[in-house]
Structure 1
Amino acid sequence: MNDTTRSPAGEALTDLILSMFRVNNLTLTWGDRLVAAYGLTSARWQILGAIVNADRAQPVAWLARDLGANRQNVQRIVNDLHEDGLVVFEPNPHHRRAHLVVLTDKGQLAYDAAIRAYNPRVNAMTEGLSLEDIQTAHRVMAALRERLDGELDAEKRD
């Protein structure tokens, strides 16, 4: 097979990737509407979630890595969260310039409100989908993420 011909699996993966693009856009719009009342956007909510779910306070670069996002974009959003009093910066004992990002009480309240709005909506969205299908989709997405990370890492080395 030459490089210009897609295999059946390659065609199926292309269809999946195109669907992922569409789902991503729809998910962001849906999330923006869901959390707007709490002064959040999908991007802000995602970063608050990364902070909440981290084992300990992290600098922006680590949050970006965990999210698979661009550090500069995460920094911009964290700065906005800071301006709104949802996070604060604390000294990092391991790095003088890379401050730790810490959720404030106001940030925790906004995150908790967003989750309270999200849970019933996501539960309703599962209707007609089996747990097994959802778990399979997650495994496929995780494998694809791992392969894409590997390709990007290889490009950095070249």
Structure 2
Amino acid sequence: MQHTQKGSKLTEVFLEVFKLNGLLVTTGDQLIKDLGVTSARWKVLGALSYNESTMTVPDIARAMGQTRQAIQRLVNEMMDDELLETLDNPKHRRAKLIRLTHKGQETFRKVMEKQIPWVNAMAQEIKEEDLNSVAATLKLLNDYLS
């Protein structure tokens, strides 16, 4: 059995995405190391910051494409560091709602102070139509796989 031409190209895309993910984690960790957070924690802070309501651990896991167990571990650590807090969930007795504390909001603000100039500089090197195409394709693939 062989890949079709498009299947082969999509496999190439996946390999580049895997590599990009690794580079983003490494670069992100370096970018924010002085703030005492990692890229993994940054993703949790971002998921909660960009969502208009509180989220449960499974909600965060789905938004990030991660396992519930991995997110639960991060949430527990981040609660110990007072970045997150829980609230009672009126829809579910055991699945607590998670939200940023003031310290978590401030940490995310500081992270974004570093991310914005970094990403803006990188974006200058890429045509807007290419960014639109990549974003649309990645969304299509994410929708297909979720």
TM bucket normalised to smaller: over 0.9
The Cα of 1:127 is off from its aligned counterpart by 2.4
Q: Which of 8, 11, 36 is equivalent to 1:11?
A: 8
Give SS of 1:98's match. Answer: coil
Give SS of 1:95's match. Answer: coil
Identical positions, percent: 36
Paired with 2:76 and 2:138, the residues of 1 have a C-alpha distance of 30
Number of the residue aligned with 1:103: 100
Q: Which of 75, 80, 84 is equivalent to 2:72?
A: 75
The Cα of 1:48 is off from its aligned counterpart by 0.6
**Is 1:134 aligned to 2:131, yes or no?**
yes
Paired residues, number: 146
Paired with 2:63 and 2:13, the residues of 1 have a C-alpha distance of 23
Paired with 1:77 and 1:49, the residues of 2 have a C-alpha distance of 13
> So what's the TM-score if we normalise by structure 2?
0.96
Deviations 1:17-48 (A, max 9, x none): 11111011001101111111111111101001
Number of the residue aligned with 1:26: 23
Q: Write 1 or 2 for the structure with the bigger share of strand.
A: 1
Paired with 1:112 and 1:141, the residues of 2 have a C-alpha distance of 26
> So what's the TM-score if we normalise by structure 1?
0.89
Paired with 1:31 and 1:88, the residues of 2 have a C-alpha distance of 24
Number of the residue aligned with 1:92: 89
Unaligned runs of 5+ in 1: 150-158
Give SS of 1:15's match. Answer: helix
Please tell me whether Structure 1 or Structure 2 has the larger radius of gyration of its CA atoms: 1
**Is 1:118 aligned to 2:115, yes or no?**
yes
Paired with 2:116 and 2:63, the residues of 1 have a C-alpha distance of 23
Give SS of 2:125's match. Answer: coil
Number of the residue aligned with 1:65: 62
Unaligned runs of 5+ in 2: none
- Root mean square deviation, CA, Å: 1.0
Paired with 1:107 and 1:101, the residues of 2 have a C-alpha distance of 11
